[in-house]
Amino acid sequence: MLVTLEGLDGSGKTTCIEALRSAASLPDDTVFTREPTHSWYGEAVRRSIDDDDADSLAELFLYTADHADHVTNTIEPALSAGTPVVSDRYSDSRYAYQGATLSDRFEDAMGFVREIHEPWTRSPDATLYLDIDPETAAERSGATNKFETVSHLETVQENYERLIAEEPERFVRLDASRPEADVAADVVDAVETLL
């Protein structure tokens, strides 16, 4: 089973992943992973995040290359071996974030991004969506890069809502505005139930 954690920057995904890693009740062989990855593709993504002048379309393809490598070399082998996988961000992040970044270039930017992934990506079995308003998200994240501004996060949130509306059975919405410990405990409970 592939379980993903999604949400705006500052929603608490990293804290929740740490809580999951410490949870004794999860299978010992659970693979914990993330996007962008720690591969050289992921490094290229991180470099583009820090470059305010990076071309948004070129950036999409950096993210897509990182995702393709992640699916091929981490996700599919683990799932083929019957090993559960928990990923901090996955394809929905690309749809929501790059869909927002490219909104000035394509009429349906998120649809364009999804269409590129459609033939080869592996959809999550379940996605925990850490729901938080863009203002709080930007404050928590420190708005340290171009993706963490309130205006950008508002569009990202709209894209996440569209994804949730299209696949409500896949998403588990959790209120991430609550204290970190409460959110992390709910995430651990949800993943225990799913796995």
Q: Per the annotation, where are the binding residues?
A: 7-14
What is the Cα–Cα distance from 188 to 32, expressed in whole angstroms?
Answer: 13
Residue 142: strand, helix, or coil: coil
Binding residue numbers for ATP = 7-14
Token pair of 192 as six digits: 């225990």
Please report, for residues 57, 59, 160, 165, 166, the alpha-carbon distance to residue 169 in angstroms, rounded to integers and kept in the order given.
31, 30, 14, 9, 9
What is the Cα–Cα distance from 5 to 125, expressed in whole angstroms?
Answer: 11
Cα 142 from chain centre = 18
